[in-house]
Structure 1
Amino acid sequence: MGVEIERKFLVDHEKWHQADKPNGVHYQQGYILNDDNRTVRVRVTDTHGYITLKGRGTSNMSRTEFEYEIPVADAKALLKEFAKNSTEKIRYCIPFGGFTWEVDEFSGSNEGLIVAEIELNDEQDNFEKPHWITTEVTDDERYLNSNLATRPFKDWH
């Protein structure tokens, strides 16, 4: 069984915009199933498509996850025909301190939200935070991508 262990943090906008970073990748993702216990997500970039199944884990930090690459055309069709709601973002992958930070700059209804995630091998892993990291929001379910698709940042910020 696949398990994803990740922590989420908000990002200081000013420090982030001044930081040296690689080009980002545009993601559109939609949810075919989205309830309190599980999600089925379809994600598309310009060159890749994915379908991901996530379950409720032992904590907000650890969840079951199964992700599979699918043809881009199939992913686009699934988004169009089956996704009930969606989000868009630019993702930047930043190597730092032996880990890769994934920083998402959201657009659309989540414009203004920048969230950084770090995937860990164990919930107890120690890691160094880049200078642009601020508040941890791992336990705040409003920041789950699946929740941002149904209750966007603009509605509660």
Structure 2
Amino acid sequence: MGVEIERKFLVNQEIWQQLEKPNGVHYHQGYIPSDDSCTVRVRIAGERGYLTLKGKTKGFSRKEFEYEIPFADAQEMLNEFTRTGTEKIRYHIAIGTHVWEVDEFLGPNKGLFVAEIELRDESEPFAIPAWIGEEVTNDRRYANSNLAVHPFLEW
């Protein structure tokens, strides 16, 4: 069984913009209608396709199953089965033994920058870089599935 343990933070854009960063990867993702117990996501990341099922969050953890699927299938699923979605540029930043994923949202979520870190244990310590701002792990507004329905620019 897959378990995702993740913490989520806003990014201090003033500091972030001054950093030298690696190239980001364009993500386009959509959500297949489901109930409150599960989120079903189809994602294209660069030239790769993925299908992901995520359970309800408890603390910082939730069940997660992610599978790479053929790129053409991901494109067709996005077109045929999703009603809402998000687009973003994702940057991977290694700090210590962890990798931060920083998302620069596009379209109706433009201007929002969110950083996530995945952990092996909910109490695992990690370094917090200077460009990390307020923690929003438990604020559902920042969930990608929510941003697809209630975009940042409409807040």
Aligned to 1:52: 52
Aligned positions of 1:68-79 closer than 5 A = 68-79=67-78
Task: Give me the whole-angstrom Cα distance separating, in 1, the residues matched to 2:131 and 2:107.
Answer: 23
Unaligned runs of 5+ in 2: none
Aligned positions of 1:2-151 closer than 5 A = 2-59=2-59, 61-151=60-150
Measured after TM superposition, the shift of residue 34 of structure 1 is 4.6
Give the % identical residues. Answer: 63
Instruction: Verify the 8 A CA contact 1:34 1:146 in the aligned structure 2.
Output: no
Instruction: Verify the 8 A CA contact 1:88 1:106 in the aligned structure 2.
Output: yes
Which amino acid in the other structure matches residue 73 of structure 1?
Answer: A
Measured after TM superposition, the shift of residue 74 of structure 1 is 0.4
Instruction: Verify the 8 A CA contact 1:5 1:120 in the aligned structure 2.
Output: yes
Measured after TM superposition, the shift of residue 36 of structure 1 is 2.7
Go from structure 1 to structure 2 and tell me whether the alpha carbon gap of 1:35 and 1:112 turns closer, same or farther (over 3 Å shift): farther
Which amino acid in the other structure matches residue 52 of structure 2?
Answer: T
Which amino acid in the other structure matches residue 13 of structure 1?
Answer: Q
Q: Which moved more, 1:77-86 or 1:31-40?
A: 31-40
Measured after TM superposition, the shift of residue 50 of structure 1 is 0.1
Task: Give me the whole-angstrom Cα distance separating, in 1, the residues matched to 2:48 and 2:33.
Answer: 21
Go from structure 1 to structure 2 and tell me whether the alpha carbon gap of 1:34 and 1:150 turns closer, same or farther (over 3 Å shift): farther
Which amino acid in the other structure matches residue 10 of structure 1?
Answer: L
Instruction: Verify the 8 A CA contact 1:33 1:41 in the aligned structure 2.
Output: no
CA deviation string 1:121-155 (max 9, x = no partner): 00001111111001000010000000000111111
CA RMSD in angstroms, aligned pairs only: 0.9
Unaligned runs of 5+ in 1: none
Measured after TM superposition, the shift of residue 45 of structure 1 is 2.4
Residue 150 of structure 1 aligns to a residue whose secondary structure is coil
